[in-house]
Amino acid sequence: MKPVRIGLLGIGTVGGGTFEVLKRNREEITRRAGRHIEVAWVAARDLDRARAIVGPDIPVVADAVAAVSDPDVDVIVEVIGGTTVAKDAILRAIAHGKHIVTANKALLAIDGNEILSAANTHGVMIAFEAAVSGCIPIVKALREGLAANRIEWIAGIINGTSNYILSEMRTKKLPFAAALEAAQRLGYAEADPTFDIEGIDAAHKLTLLSAIGFGIPVQFDRAYIEGISKLTDRDITYAEELGYRIKLLGITRRAPTGIELRVHPTLIPAGRIIASVDGAMNAILVKSDAAGVTMYYGAGAGAEPTASAVIADIIEVTRLMQAEPEERVPFLAFQSDALSDVRILPMADVETSYYLRVRVKDVVGVLADIARTLADAGISVASMLQQGAGDADNETDIVILTHRTRERNFDAAIAKLVQMPTVRPEYARIRREDLG
Ligand code: HSE
């Protein structure tokens, strides 16, 4: 059978890994796909660097957008990232009837509805396993393995850089800045690490998980996003003393009044398996009605782990190329005319429990005053403790774990607490999830 010809957009970390694994495992991949998979050409900005990687036999082109209309290719593999050239190239490729494999979570989270609708119109496939957590086959699991289930929630460590930073802060008692520096030295964090540490990268991935978990359009603009840059090692230590670990979690949940879509630092019980996922690794929990809780773990980034997902998608596209569009698995797991418009809840309407640290004057009655303020707001305290004796200023930290309450309610109570003359205005408030 005629080989499948691919145009590879980008030969950086993921593109280079894809090229290498396609070459190394060529026979094994052909046995699975039923046809040879050939790289027809590579599009790259740095032509010399690209030629040094792919060798003399594969053409290297500079203009990715122009190249995608090549009648000699069946599949465009987009691993350049970003939302400009990548978007133009993908839309043009779709218009020319090419199937798409992409690792581009930002593009799909932001412009996914437009891109998926264009793919539907032109009857081509768009596959994006590599966009969420590198090698972990979570898109496949949600779209196919768990297809019998009503998904209740998905919660995951889906940014390796921030997980590495939090692990370093906890195990080596490092402040945030030092842990970030270590991540940068190891090449985990980008030179501008904002997307990693401010939760944006995790929110891109969570947006896609939410769409395929619940059969809703992608809605990145409705995601609540809070990163780890304001976390202190003090709170990590207190959380540990209380039997918790702090992780940057992406959480999406079907609540009675809408869907939660949120990324933020989260206290989770130290005994949960996901709490011990350290370093740059990713892990995702899915709670569904028939299967119960399932967990997916692996490398969320890196050349070959991400290439593993890219190539799995190329193989799937190869197998299904001759099938009619309605015989293929829908991009968002649900039939495109069956997507639901259930709303994404604003964070103020989300219900969860909390860790609160306030700094107070160590005087008689302060604990009672705090407890009364919370009780007046209908907030039930699960535990409350004073951390350490008062210091030279006669101030001390009070740490409170609450039961579940609505965020709006909790924020209103904090606003009252910090107006008390015995309570300092700075505080730490971290959400807490049981994940049971
Ligand atoms: N920057 C991402 C992370 C890797 O640290 O997990 C690619 O998504």
Instruction: Find the 349 Cα to ligand 1 centroid distance in Å.
Output: 29
* 348, 411 Cβ separation under 8 angstroms: yes
| Strand positions, DSSP E, 242-315 | 244-255, 258-269, 281-288, 292-299
Residues 46-97: tens digit of each pLDDT? 999 999 999 999 999 999 999 999 999 999 999 999 999 999 999 999 999 9
From 79, 80, 161, 197, the mutation candidate for ligand 1 (largest count of ligand atoms within 8 A of CB) is 161
Instruction: Find the 159 Cα to ligand 1 centroid distance in Å.
Output: 5
Which tokens hold the place of 245? 């670990």
Nearest ligand 1 atom, CA 306: 7
**Smallest CA separation from ligand 1 atom 2, residue:** 159
Residues 347-380: tens digit of each pLDDT? 999 999 999 999 999 889 998 999 999 999 999 9
* 120, 96 Cβ separation under 8 angstroms: no
Helices 105-122 and 200-214: angle between axes, nearest 10 degrees: 40
From 201, 263, 304, 306, the mutation candidate for ligand 1 (largest count of ligand atoms within 8 A of CB) is 201
* 220, 110 Cβ separation under 8 angstroms: yes
From 104, 128, 188, the mutation candidate for ligand 1 (largest count of ligand atoms within 8 A of CB) is 188
How far apart are alpha carbons 76 and 100 in whole angstroms? Answer: 5
* 81, 105 Cβ separation under 8 angstroms: no
Contacts of 358 (CB under 8 A, 6+ apart): 370, 397, 398, 400, 417, 418, 423, 424, 427
- Say what the pLDDT of residue 201 is: 96
Instruction: Find the 357 Cα to ligand 1 centroid distance in Å.
Output: 30
Extents of the domains making up the chain: 4-134+303-338, 138-299, 352-432
* 297, 136 Cβ separation under 8 angstroms: yes
Instruction: Find the 79 Cα to ligand 1 centroid distance in Å.
Output: 14
Residue type, 430: I
Question: Does the active-site annotation cover 172?
Answer: no
Nearest ligand 1 atom, CA 164: 5
| Strand positions, DSSP E, 44-150 | 60-61, 75-78, 99-102, 126-127
Name the 3-class secondary structure at 264. strand
Positions of the chain with pLDDT lower than 50, given as ranges:
none
Nearest ligand 1 atom, CA 105: 8
**Smallest CA separation from ligand 1 atom 8, residue:** 301
Residue 320 has what DSSP assignment?
H
How far apart are alpha carbons 124 and 354 in whole angstroms? Answer: 45
Instruction: Find the 134 Cα to ligand 1 centroid distance in Å.
Output: 8
The second-level CATH assignment, the architecture, of 352-432 is 2-Layer Sandwich (3.30)
**Smallest CA separation from ligand 1 atom 4, residue:** 301
Nearest ligand 1 atom, CA 190: 1
- Say what the pLDDT of residue 394 is: 85
How far apart are alpha carbons 5 and 176 in whole angstroms? Answer: 46
Contacts of 230 (CB under 8 A, 6+ apart): none
**Smallest CA separation from ligand 1 atom 7, residue:** 301
- Say what the pLDDT of residue 391 is: 60
Which listed CATH number (3.40.50.300, 3.90.1150.10, 3.30.360.10, 3.40.605.10) goes with 138-299? 3.30.360.10
Instruction: Give the per-residue SS3 of 366-420.
Output: HHHHHHHHHHHCCCCEEEEEEECCCCCCCEEEEEEEECCEEHHHHHHHHHHHCCC
Homologous superfamily of the 4-134+303-338 domain (CATH): NAD(P)-binding Rossmann-like Domain (3.40.50.720)
H/E stretch holding 151 reads strand 151-157
Distance of CA 78 to CAs 81, 200, 434, Å?
7, 21, 38
Instruction: Find the 205 Cα to ligand 1 centroid distance in Å.
Output: 10
- Say what the pLDDT of residue 304 is: 96
From 13, 108, 135, 159, the mutation candidate for ligand 1 (largest count of ligand atoms within 8 A of CB) is 159
Identify any residues that bridge with 61 across adjacent strands, giving them in sequence order: 43
pTM of the entire predicted model: 0.96
Around ligand 1, the residues with Cβ closer than 6 Å are: 159-161, 196, 201, 300-301
Instruction: Find the 161 Cα to ligand 1 centroid distance in Å.
Output: 6
Candidates 87, 105, 205, 247; catalytic one:
205
- Say what the pLDDT of residue 385 is: 84
- Say what the pLDDT of residue 189 is: 74
Instruction: Find the 133 Cα to ligand 1 centroid distance in Å.
Output: 7
- Say what the pLDDT of residue 1 is: 85
Residues belonging to the chain: 436
Which tokens hold the place of 2? 């005629």
